[in-house]
Amino acid sequence: MATGKRKSSSGRKTSGRKTNSGRKKNDIQQESFTEEVILWVILAISILLFISNFGIGGAIGNAVSSFFFGVFGLIAYIFPVVLVIGTFFAASNKGNRIATVKIAAAVFFVLFLCMFIEIVRCGAEVAGAAGAYQYCSVHKIGGGFLGGLLAGIFCPNFGLLGSYVIDVVAMIICLVLITERSALKGVQKGSRKVYETAKESNERHRELAEQRREERELRRMDRKVEGVAVDTRVLPDRKAEPMGSDEVSEINIDKLLEQSNTNLPEIKEEKHVTLTAGGAEYQKLPAMEPETEPYVAPSAFSEEAFEAKELEEDASIFHSEPAYQESIHTEPAYEEHHPVEESIPYDAAEKPKKNVKATEEDIQNDVSSIEEEIHLEAQKERKYVFPPVSLLKPPGNKQGDSKQHLQETAQKLQQTLKNFGVNVTITNISCGPSVTRYEIQPEMGVKVSKIVNLADDIKLNLAAADIRIEAPIPGKAAVGIEVPNKETLMVSFRELVDSPEFKNHPSNISFCVGKDIGGNVTVADIAKMPHLLIAGATGSGKSVCINTIIMSILYKADPKDVKLIMV
């Protein structure tokens, strides 16, 4: 009987739950039907109102239209549309707080719009709410009752201009709430767009100007030279020098011997030969003593005559302007000048003058000799001097962890393992620059995995930041436990380079790696690692490693033996 009662009670509960769920479904369906009916009714009313605004709604429609024009003014034309949109929006966003805020903002926007229209119609002389209603219901213009009410409140208190400002700002706020778009952001975006457009236009104009300049330069370079003979060599442009130019424009030669086949009288006073270049004296030399041999006048067909003719032709080609035409003439000999000082020995006057007019063959010989000297100088082998170790910074004076500290840590490690039932013996302690490795040998029957599983407990008892267990150590019947040192030692590059391991290494491309966990210097050979990848986190020493490789090569190899390409 008890079982039957339990079954009946459970059956009643199940049936009650089904009844409640069914009632909820029916209520939801009934509510949705009611909302749909209301929407259809409002849609029909809005259509009738819209038709009545144009005088085709009959007597009732005209009366209703006059009422809405009296209340809203010009807004009565769009009021039916606003009513339909607002109703559908509220029904589709039922229970949404943002939708409620938007609907309220739309209502206030309509009110402030009615006020704006009424202020525009009446100005400062507001007729009031009742007067606005009567006027707008008849003439169907203005802001209606609502606009007159708000205008009657703001205009007397804030004036016409203040009412305009308040009304416009309020409408902007309502639009921001409805659209959820900031007007200031739009202005900022527009101004930024205008700025970027102007900047791009400026850059485009600058690029076009640069292209035009380059095109003009190319056209100028490609322009053919006209009016120049084939055999004429065009000299490069040069600035005209006012005075002291190297061009010879006048040569004053001492007076020639007047009579031939006669001996000249003895000259007691030293005379000068004057060479005028560009209007200034180019060179002053003591006059040569005349020889006793007779003077022979040059023939019209002699070699000197042809050279003079060629000189005149060259001058006519390269100096076509009258101001730069060269003329060669003789002046009376033995032109009087100041005598040479007696301190100058007579041998200085006897030195032969350097031939100013050098042939092309001489120039080529001089150029070739200079090039040969430069080439020989470059081929001279220079012995590479290895940089001294004294240039490097010496290592610091830090000693690291003391032996007593290492012994205490070893005893603490042994006691910690013993507390967890693992008996071990410390066989060796290897202290490196930053890590110390304790080599332990477990008793017979102790699994290595048991020691590995105690890593967290060992770290806790030693108060270490982290530990590393190497089980077992390669080549040894022991387990290594690496513990960070209390004081980290800095490994300097000088002590690595100055070590025998690096000096005695046979390879020229060996480099210092550092020190191992035992404190021994480690040297590697690049030849045995042609593809080396240096990786690590930020601050782990990648750049220091590359710098060490380069410095090791500088201290180990001669430049003729090792070439390094850095990309």
Using 50, 70 and 90 to split pLDDT, how confident is the model at 55? confident
Using 50, 70 and 90 to split pLDDT, how confident is the model at 523? very high
User: What tens digit of pLDDT does each residue of 348-377 get?
Assistant: 444 444 454 557 777 878 788 888 777 776
Using 50, 70 and 90 to split pLDDT, how confident is the model at 323? very low
Output the pLDDT for position 338: 47
Output the pLDDT for position 248: 46
Level-2 CATH architecture, domain 403-484: 2-Layer Sandwich (3.30)
Q: State percent of the chain over pLDDT 70.
A: 68
pLDDT surpassing 70 at residue 505: yes
CA–CA separation, 515 and 434 (whole Å):
10
> How many Cα neighbours within 13 Å face the side chain of 404?
0
Output the pLDDT for position 22: 57
Query: For every residue of 348-365, which 3-state class applies, written as one string?
Result: HHCCCCCCCCCCHHHHHH
Q: Which long-range contacts (CB under 8 A, 24 or more apart) does 304-307 make?
A: none
**Tokens coding 550:** 């380069």
pLDDT surpassing 80 at residue 57: no
User: What tens digit of pLDDT does each residue of 88-147 get?
Assistant: 888 888 778 888 888 888 889 988 998 898 888 887 677 678 888 888 888 888 888 888
- 9-18, 34-43, 77-86, 427-436: least confidently modelled range: 9-18
Using 50, 70 and 90 to split pLDDT, how confident is the model at 276? very low
Using 50, 70 and 90 to split pLDDT, how confident is the model at 245? very low
The closest of 105, 49, 55 to 77, measured between CA atoms, is: 49
CB atoms within 10 A of CB 481: 27
Q: 107-125: string of b/e by CB count within 10 Å (b at 16+)? A: eebbbbbbbbbbbebbeee
Vertex 495, ends 489 and 501: CA angle to 5°? 115
More confident residue, 546 or 368: 546
Output the pLDDT for position 53: 83
**Tokens coding 411:** 């005893």
Output the pLDDT for position 367: 80
Using 50, 70 and 90 to split pLDDT, how confident is the model at 165? very high
Distances (CA, A) of 424 to 440, 471, 477, 480: 6, 14, 12, 12
Sign of the dihedral defined by the CA atoms of residues 204, 205, 207, 212, in that order: positive
pLDDT surpassing 60 at residue 426: yes
pLDDT surpassing 80 at residue 279: no
CB 395 within 8 A of CB 490: yes
Using 50, 70 and 90 to split pLDDT, how confident is the model at 72? confident
pLDDT surpassing 70 at residue 225: no
More confident residue, 428 or 8: 428
DSSP string for residues in 216-232: HHHHHHHPPP-S--TTP
For the chain, the average pLDDT equals: 74
Question: Can you tell me the mean pLDDT for 258-263?
Answer: 46
CA–CA separation, 36 and 42 (whole Å):
10
Question: Can you tell me the mean pLDDT for 286-290?
Answer: 47
Does pTM surpass 0.75? no
Query: For every residue of 259-295, which 3-state class applies, written as one string?
Result: CCCCCCCCCCCCCEEEEEECCEEEEEEECCCCCCCCC
CA–CA separation, 45 and 197 (whole Å):
51
Question: So where are the chain's domains?
Answer: 28-181, 188-213, 403-484
Pairing of strands 521-525, 510-515: antiparallel
More confident residue, 115 or 249: 115
Output the pLDDT for position 186: 67
User: What tens digit of pLDDT does each residue of 198-209 get?
Assistant: 888 888 888 889
> How many Cα neighbours within 13 Å face the side chain of 246?
4
Beta bridge partners of 283: 275
The closest of 444, 446, 485 to 464, measured between CA atoms, is: 485
Any idea of the CA torsion for 316, 318, 322, 327, to the nearest 10 degrees? -60
